[in-house]
Structures are given as C-alpha cells and as structure tokens.
Amino acid sequence: VALHGACSGQGEDPLSRYRSPLVSRYASAEMAFNFSERKKFGTWRRLWLYLALAEKSLGLPITDEQIKEMEANLDNIDFKMAAEEEKKLRHDVMAHVHTFAHCCPKAAAIIHLGATSCYVGDNTDLIVLRDGFNLLLPKLARVISRLADFAEAHADLPTLGFTHYQPAQLTTVGKRCCLWIQDLCMDLQNLERTRDDLRFRGVKGTTGTQASFLQLFEGDHSKVEELDRLVTAKAGFKRSYMVTGQTYSRKVDIGVLSVLASLGASVHKICTDIRLLANLKEIEEPFEKEQIGSSAMPYKRNPMRSERCCSLARHLMTLVLDPLQTASVQWFERTLDDSANRRVCLAEAFLTADIILSTLQNISEGLVVYPKVIDRRIRQELPFMATENIIMAMVKAGGNRQDCHEKIRVLSQQAAAVVKQEGGDNDFIARVRADPYFSPIHNHLDSLLDPSSFTGRAPQQVRRLQFLKEEVRPALIPYQGKMGGKIELTL
C-alpha cells in the first residue's frame, strides 16, 4: 500500500507505469491513434450525431440548433470530466453521454435517443477494425512490391534448394522469393475480403429487436428500417448485420483475427528463411554501418529484424484464441465477459500486424545477396546432382549405362568420405576428370555442371509464366498511390 501511495498522485513520473511496447516501442503513430481513446470517443460522438441526423430526417422533433451544437463539439472532449463521471456512474457510455451533454446543453435531451451502449461501442469497434485494415493493406502491398522487385532482379540466380533443410535440387533466389510473395498475396486477398465483408451493427436496440426505435416512431416499421440504413450509410458501410443480439456476433472477431494470424504465419516463415540464409551467409537483412550485433562478439551480424518479426508474429498467431473462446461463451443475447478481453486482443492484433509489416518492409528494402557464397555451396553439392547428366552423356558417347553407374557410385562414395570424414571439399568432378574411363566427356564437364541447367523452369515461373506480371502486379494496383517511402527502424 505504501508503495502504491508513493507512486500515485500529482507529478507522477510517466516512466513509473507500464506502457505496452506495442505502442511505446514499435507501432506506427497511425495505428496507435486508430486504437486510441481520442479516436474511440470522437467516434462515439459522431455516431450520436449520425443517429440524431437520421432521426431528424425521419420526423423526430430534433432542431437544426441541436444538430449544429453537436457538430461543433465532436472533438471538444473533456477527458477529465468523463473519467470523473465514469468513476461515479460506473458506466463508460453514460459518462460520455453526460460529458457530451455538458458542452451541448441544447442537444442534451436527444443525445443517445433510443440507443443502447452497444450502439456506440460495437459500431465504433467495427469502424476501427475497418480503418485498421485500411492501414495494414497498403503496408502489405508495399512489402509485396519490394519483394517482387527483388524476385525479378534475382530470377535467374541459381541457388541450392532445400527439402527437410537438406540439400535438394537447385532453384533460383528469385523463385524462392516468389514462394514468400505468393503467401503474402493470399494474405492481401484475405485481408481485403475480411474488410469488405465487415458490416455495421447499425441501430438495433437493447437486445437487437429495435423495440425502442419502433416506439419512437410509433410503430412505423419502415421508418425504423430506414433509420438503420441511414446511419449505416453515414458511417461508411454498405450493409448492416440483419440480426444481432445486443452485440454483433463475436464470430466476426474470429474472422478478423484469423486473417491477421495467418499473416503472422506467413511473416514468420519468411523471416525464418532469412534467418537460416543469414547463417549460411547467402542472404542477409540490412545491417547498419554502426550497428552492433553482439556486445561480446564484434564480428556478429545478427538477423535481429527477422528475429523481431518472428517474435511478434508468434504473439499475433496466438491472439486468435481469444475471440474463438469469447464467441463460444456468449450467452443468449450477450454477456459482458467479452468486453475486457476484446479491449486487449483486437487492438494488439492490429498493432502487432502493423509492426511486423513495417519491419518486413525495412528488411525487403535492403536484402543483401552474396552470389559467390551461393555459388560455392552449389559447387559443393552439384557434383552429386550431376551424376545422372554424366551417365547420359557417357551413354551418348557410346558407354554402357551399368558400367558407368558403377564407376560413378564408387567415385561419389570416395568423394563423400572426403567431405564427411575429412572435412574436405567435394572432389567428385576432379576424380571424374582423372579417370580415363570418362575421357569421352572430359571436354563437356563444364557444360554438364552449369548450375543454370539444373534450375528447371524456375526463371520462367518468375518471368515467362508471368507470376509477377499476371498475379502480383495487378493485385497491387489499388495501392499504387501509397507505394512510396522507405521504412527506417529504431533498433
């Protein structure tokens, strides 16, 4: 108790209280504002204005003077008064009704007329979710655009492919990047669809029956329906949910956080690949000139941006469990055990997604490729991959397949022993060159070992099959006006 008393009161040090690092350390100002108290309560006042305008247009006795008074005070919010009212009333919506009414005395009688708390609460949440998607989508598009440029620039650069993180056939750096891009394009489509599928709760009353509004309009069902349509349109939505309880169905939140969790999985996979490639010294994320990788090991270049993405993406992926459980326990028309949970998980999901996209954009704008390291690793593995090509070339030169196969089996096992037991380089090709049996193809070995002949159609899949041109670039067209600017991170 003494400690609590010492830390409270006037002149409190702001650093003495916990602040979410999602806001204080990472997230953009735009996304932080989207979930701010100012945005929330400013939207409540706009919703009360929309309701009054619609009710007035449908014949309720609301004056122009009352409307103008409300319009003049939309952002004139006395947060101190609202906090005092909430402490007294134990009800946040009524606290803000009273606070709004205090600066709109002429309109006081018609503010919140016929509405329930969820009229402002749930409808504001839906506006904030929609606006959150509108902030994320251009960022995701920018990441895709940067990676598409990278893929196109490296479409032909052979690299060792891995399955089970074991050497497999060759691919190209650009083709591997297209795997990342394809996942992100799915996320772009999912986010767009989920945003566009969002509806407004609308004007539904206490348990969703619109009984209070039917009473206001003296049993005129058509006016109640029109009221719902008018307010929905004023809020920028094309449709409202046709049936609700006191709240909109919490399954909506499941859909929203599911697509964000899926985005988190994509980013985690991409950044894990980059971390593995950094260990192989083939590709690295950007590294600042004076950046320190380790306090003890000056030579280190840790992939800390990718590690941050993976760390936060794990958090994002777990948040979908909250709305899943919340939706499952909403009794009948509603129960309030959704409220505290939703205050946390909805905001954190968008803030976290915002952070990982900004970080991934920074990574994608500065990826560094080391072709000589990539080529060296290819040369270590390619001789074994080329054995079938060597056999076919020998057969064409008049050799016997079975004899050639046995010769290659012996030489390849000898070379493998050098690599695994002695720690040496793969000398299989040197052994082939030294063996007179293979003299008919000695002059063709260089062409048989050309890495580009082992990448299949990887370059064509990036370019000639026009993955970037036909699938990726068209998906980015709606965001062309928002593609500029680079991300600078505070590490």
Q: Let me know: does 309 contact 360? Beta carbons within 8 Å.
A: yes
Burial class (CB in 10 A: 0-12, 13-18, 19+), 233: middle
Cβ neighbour number for residue 360 with a 10 Å cutoff: 30
In angstroms, the CA 71 to CA 66 distance is: 9
Q: Let me know: does 324 contact 291? Beta carbons within 8 Å.
A: no
Beta pairing partners, 163: 166
**Nearest Cα to Cα of residue 246 among 328, 338, 319, 323:** 338
161 phi, psi to nearest 5 deg: -85, 155
Helix (H, G, I), strand (E, B) or coil at 335: coil
Q: Let me know: does 427 contact 415? Beta carbons within 8 Å.
A: yes
**Nearest Cα to Cα of residue 93 among 160, 127, 45:** 45
**Nearest Cα to Cα of residue 209 among 160, 242, 239, 256:** 242
* Residue tagged 């999985």 (tokens): 265
Q: Which residues are catalytic?
A: 164, 294
Q: Name the DSSP class of 392.
A: H
* Beta pairing, strands 158-163 & 283-284: unpaired
Contacts of 338 (CB under 8 A, 6+ apart): 247, 250, 326, 330
Contacts of 259 (CB under 8 A, 6+ apart): 187, 190, 191, 193, 194
